[in-house]
Structure 1
Amino acid sequence: MDPDPGTQAAEHTRRTAGVTFAARLTFDGIHHSYHGKETIKGVSLTAEPGEVLCLLGPSGSGKTTLLRIAAGIEAQSHGRVMLNGRELAGPGVFLPPERRGIGLMFQDFALFPHMTIIDNVRFGLTAMPQKDAIAEAMGALERVGLAHYAQKFPHVLSGGEQQRVALARALAPRPEVLLMDEPFSGLDSRLKDTIRADTLAILRETRATAIVVTHDAEEAMRMADRIALLRDGTLVQAGTSDDLYRRPCNLFAAAFFSEINEFDGVVRNGLVETPVGEASAQGIGEGTPVSVAVRLSGVGVAEKSGSIPARIISRRFLGVVELLSLAVPGTEKLVRARVRADHLRPGIRDVTLKINRQDILVFEKT
């Protein structure tokens, strides 16, 4: 895909986004089933006014289903959805999507190919007189730096430009909550950072509450005020990126936010022995089976200064870093490490390891 020609100029030419009234969106004990299979299992979660909340998790974790329940496209089997304490969906209540004050931006942008850009953006402004709807849509296009494309059709736009048109259309009605389903997944990797930054700036300007679905932990950390990590329809952990990275609640959460080496062990005298040294297991009972996670970034590799002997089995150059696989005494499992490229001299095989204690995490087995 060619670079988006309007991306760099958009920040300087676009109009300041109109402010909306941020709302609090609450999922209260949400359950959902599909063909007899429970896809959401009692999720309770709140997006605070003006907050960017990312729903993070692997495919099938329930992220998009929660978004569709909030929008009114799907109905939960149990639980309630509330906006500023007002029930949108619950026992005996189900407001249709158009009465919820919630905007939804789809993964594939969903632009109508037979409509001009301005008509795409004003599509949801049916309650306004035509003149007002056109003015509001043009204002939304100006906010994303694409007013000069108003009379063009979607096929002439790059992927990044189509994404910004979809954002303009979602924001044009000034929703109290904006739902975004993997909005950057279809973009060229070279454009993602710029488009994501532009989108976040516009969300901050509008002050709308936003819930963004992603399966990419780094993307969630770049965008979110808070992250809700989901797995198999359950809420695993919610908090800031710092909370989830530094204090993951279990092995799944730890592995989702960083590449890890995993070892099994048993707690003895407040410690657990691993092939890369002892780890503290404070607060975990004597004799408890545990899993030990060691982040790849926490494995220091040097020719002589470490305390653990190791041999390099494979070495993969990745540009800024190298990915190493290492054999260590006491286990047949290879230890992986990421080190700065050119940190180790070419051809070296025998090295030593030193583990950063902050990058060792211990969890009770479940």
Structure 2
Amino acid sequence: MNPAKTHHGDGQRTAGVTFAARLTFEDIRHRYHGKDTICGVSLTAEPGEVLCLLGPSGSGKTTLLRIAAGIEAQASGRVVINDREVAGPSMFLPPEKRGIGLMFQDFALFPHMSVLDNVRFGLTALPRKDAVAEAMAALERVGLAHYAEMFPHALSGGEQQRVALARALAPRPSVLLMDEPFSGLDSRLKDTVRADTLAILRESRATAVVVTHDAEEAMRMADRIALLKNGRLVQVGTSDDLYRRPRDIFAAAFFSEINEFSGRVVVGQVDTPLGKAPAGAIADGTEVDVAVRLSGVSVHNSGGPIPARILARRFLGVVELLELAVPGTERPVRARIRADILSPGVRDVTIAVEPKDILVFEKTPESPYIGETQI
């Protein structure tokens, strides 16, 4: 296959189009030192899709990526690429035979090789002249052809990341696996490099699976997000699905800061220190977790239904972060409000919450209070 190549008006080559593949995990299980690390995960990345594996440390997302790559073997289950089993009970293809590109967290560039030779490294099946041409084409795609003869240490973190991307794309993989690709970048660079990377992925049309622990990063990049916890799949969907319709308290807390309360359903409602909330289809008498997003708490100098006292106030530029004492709970209620709404120095305020901003979930044995933020 030799896809046609096109050029932008500025001379930067667009990514060569590849045949995107469907990557499927079927009931994947994995153990490490006697502990279950992946517990029956079934998931599909559709052709040309950017799928983010999201979750905290230890959730199994990198292990799942390594299983897809062939670096790690699952205990049971199958990995299938375009209806072809590449890892299963009777088959295990090595990484180099899977048509998969890899991009690691630390970029893994060879310091003693030039940028061009780093990108050419995986093109061993091609004659040298063709491999150099393909490597240069990949560098053009990421805008770094003029750095071909330089060495990685002379490049910035963002430039090294783009070299690693060029190396992963050079063999025209049908699936690209990226493990925390932006975690090593300065926060000021992340937005730009992430946007550039996404544009290149869209042009190349490869299926991409991206591991991240950052919910905002997943929302910026992904067509769909797979949220994992303790080796299990919690929820899969678009960023809109997971933010607006979280399946449980864990998913709600992963996508926004929340205040959390416990309660019991009485006549179809739950009474909380921030007001009553409809319980939906949850049966009366059921113990529930209640989440109220910080952005859902409105704070006013006066006039709201619930009295409160400001315990701490942190100015963050566009917004302010507040800790409030509220009747009915010993735990401070947190709010994120637009700056300059409250008078300077005010202590006693009132708050209000719309019922739609109160999320109610059936309590589970694993329902901990999730991460209290100090200000």
TM range (shorter): over 0.9
2:158 paired residue number = 160
How far, CA to CA, are the matches of 1:86 and 1:138 in structure 2?
A: 32
Q: Distance in 2 between matches of 1:338 and 1:128?
A: 56
Residue 325 of structure 2 is aligned to residue 354 of structure 1: no
Corresponding position of 2:73: 75
Q: Is contact 2:276-2:355 (8 Å) kept?
A: no
For the residue of structure 1 that corresponds to 2:199, the secondary structure is helix
**1:35-46 matches, cutoff 5 A:** 35-46=33-44
* Structure 2 residue 148 is the aligned partner of structure 1 residue 150: yes
Specify the SS of the correspondent of 1:38.
Answer: strand
Farther off after superposition, 129-138 or 320-329: 320-329
Question: Is the 8 Å Cα contact of residues 226 and 238 (structure 1) preserved in structure 2?
Answer: yes
2:235 corresponds to which of 226, 234, 237: 237
Aligned-pair identity (%): 78
Deviates more, 1:328-337 or 1:145-154: 328-337
Task: Measure the CA separation in 1 of the matches of 2:356 and 2:193.
Answer: 34
What is the aligned-residue RMSD (CA, Å)? Answer: 1.1
Equivalent position of 2:107 in the other structure: 109
TM-score (ref. length: structure 1): 0.96
Map Cα deviations across residues 4-30 of structure 1 (whole Å, 9 max, x no partner): xxxxxx995521110000000000000
Pick one of 211, 214, 231 that aligns with 2:212: 214
| CA deviation after TM superposition for structure 1 residue 321, in Å | 1.0
Cα distance in 1 for partners of 2:9, 2:81 equals 32
Q: Which amino acid aligns with 1:264?
A: S
What SS class does the counterpart of residue 79 from structure 1 fall into? strand
Partner of 1:328: 326
How many residues are treated as equivalent by the alignment? 357
Counterpart CA distance in 1 for 2:337 and 2:300 is 10
Which residue of structure 1 lines up, in the alignment, with residue 19 of structure 2? Answer: 21
Q: Is the 8 A contact 2:122 2:167 kept in 1?
A: yes
CA distance in 2, matches of 1:11, 1:143: 13
Alignment partner of 1:283: what SS? coil
Partner of 2:264: 266
Aligned residue for 1:54, secondary structure, equals: strand
Q: TM-score, normalised by structure 2?
A: 0.94
The residue type paired with residue 205 of structure 1 is E
1:296 touches 1:337 (CA, 8 Å); kept in 2? yes
1:1-366 equivalences under 5 Å are 12-366=10-364
3-state SS in 2 of match to 1:185: coil
Partner Cα distance (2:178, 2:44) in 1: 16
Q: 2: CA distance between counterparts of 1:351 and 1:133? A: 68
1:284, 1:65 → 2: CA distance? 35
The answer to whether the 8 Å contact 1:11/1:145 transfers is: no
Deviation of the 1:305 alpha carbon: 2.7
Contact 2:299–2:350 (8 Å) recurs in 1: yes
Q: CA deviation at 1:92?
A: 1.2
Gaps of 5+ in 1: 1-9
1:174 to partner: Cα distance: 0.3
CA contact (8 A) 1:54 1:212 kept: yes
CA distance in 2 between partners of 1:248 and 1:18 (Å): 37
Q: Secondary structure at the match of 1:265?
A: strand
Rounded to whole Å, the distance in 2 between the matches of 1:142 and 1:305 is 60
SS in structure 2 at match of 1:300: strand
Preserved CA contact (<8 Å) 1:13 1:145: no
- Separation in structure 2 between the aligned mates of residue 298 and residue 207 of structure 1, nearest angstrom: 38
Measure how far apart 1:356 and its partner are: 2.7
Deviations 1:287-308 (A, max 9, x none): 1010100000000000113111
- SS at 2:343's partner residue? coil
Q: Quick one: which amino acid aligns to residue 178 of structure 1? A: L
Query: More displaced, 174-183 or 323-332?
Result: 323-332
SS in 2 for 1:195: helix
> How many angstroms apart in 2 are the aligned matches of 1:360 and 1:11?
50
Please list the CA deviations of residues 206-225 of structure 1 after superposition, one character each: whole Å capped at 9, or x if unmatched.
00000000000000000000
- 2 CA distance for matches of 1:276 and 1:256? 21
